[in-house]
Amino acid sequence: MVWGMQPSDVALKRDDQHANTDHDCNLCQADLCRLLKQGRSPRVRSLNRGQRLGGPSCQKIWRILSGLAALCTTLPDGRRQIMCLSLADDVICPASSGEAWIEALTPTSLCEIELDRHGTPNGADAALYAELFRIAHDHVMSVSTHLVTLGRLDGMERVCLFLADMAWRSGQRTDGGWRVHLPLSRDDIADYLGLNPETVSRILSRVKKARLATFLSPTDYLVPDIDALQDRVPMVPPHQPRQSDREERGLHLV
Amino acid sequence: MVWGMQPSDVALKRDDQHANTDHDCNLCQADLCRLLKQGRSPRVRSLNRGQRLGGPSCQKIWRILSGLAALCTTLPDGRRQIMCLSLADDVICPASSGEAWIEALTPTSLCEIELDRHGTPNGADAALYAELFRIAHDHVMSVSTHLVTLGRLDGMERVCLFLADMAWRSGQRTDGGWRVHLPLSRDDIADYLGLNPETVSRILSRVKKARLATFLSPTDYLVPDIDALQDRVPMVPPHQPRQSDREERGLHLV
DNA sequence: CGGAAACTTGAAAATTTTCAAGTCAGGTGG
DNA sequence: CCACCTGACTTGAAAATTTTCAAGTTTCCG
C-alpha B118: how far from chain center:
26
- For the stretch B55-102, pLDDT in tens is 666 567 888 999 999 999 999 999 999 999 999 988 887 766 567 889
DSSP letters spanning A108-133: EEEEEEEB-TTSSBTT--HHHHHHHH
Half-sphere exposure of A247 (CA within 13 A, CB side): 2
Closest nucleotide to A198, Cα to C1': C8
Residues 6+ positions from A253 with CB-CB distance below 8 Å: A236, A240, A241, A246
Does B122 touch chain A if contact means CB atoms closer than 8 Å? Answer: no
Q: How confident is the model at residue A229 (pLDDT cuts 50, 70, 90)?
A: very high
Does A206 touch chain B if contact means CB atoms closer than 8 Å? Answer: no
pLDDT at position A98 is 66
pLDDT at position A61 is 82
pLDDT at position B122 is 54
Name the residue in chain A with its Cα closest to that of B158.
A151
Amino acid at B89: D
pLDDT at position A53 is 86
Q: Which of A24, A57, A135, A152 to mutate to probe the B interface, most B CBs <10 Å?
A: A152
pLDDT at position A128 is 73
Section A214-219 average pLDDT:
94
Helix (H) or strand (E) holding A2: none
Q: Which one has a higher pLDDT value, B133 or A35?
A: B133
Does B216 touch chain A if contact means CB atoms closer than 8 Å? Answer: no
Closest nucleotide to A209, Cα to C1': C8
Q: Residue B141: list chain A partners with CB under 8 A.
A: 95-97
Q: Give start and end residues of each alpha helix (H) in chain A.
A: 29-38, 126-152, 155-170, 186-193, 197-209, 226-231, 243-249
Does A98 touch chain B if contact means CB atoms closer than 8 Å? Answer: yes
Q: How confident is the model at residue B249 (pLDDT cuts 50, 70, 90)?
A: very low
- For the stretch A93-123, pLDDT in tens is 776 656 788 999 999 998 887 766 555 555 5
Spatial distance from the CA of A248 to the C1' of C24 (Å): 58
Give the residue ranges with Cβ < 7 A from strand C: A 185-187, 197-198, 200-202, 204-205, 215, 218-219; B 154-156, 194-196, 198-199, 202-203, 217-218
Which residues in chain A (7-26) have CB-CB distances under 8 A to chain B? Answer: none
Q: Give the lowest-confidence range in A113-122, B121-130, B137-146, B202-211.
A: A113-122
Question: Is B216 exposed, middle or buried, given 0-12, 13-18 or 19+ CB atoms closer than 10 A?
Answer: exposed
- For the stretch A76-93, pLDDT in tens is 999 999 999 999 988 887
Cβ of A107 less than 7 A from strand D: no
Q: A216 to each of A57, A221, A222, how far by Cα in Å?
A: 41, 6, 7
d(CA B15, CA B19): 9
Q: How confident is the model at residue A19 (pLDDT cuts 50, 70, 90)?
A: very low
- For the stretch A36-51, pLDDT in tens is 555 455 678 899 999 9
Query: Considering CB atoms only, which of B133, B146, B152 is closest to A132?
Result: B133
Cβ of B176 less than 7 A from strand D: no
The alpha-carbon gap from A169 to the nearest alpha carbon of chain B, in Å, equals 15
pLDDT at position B133 is 81
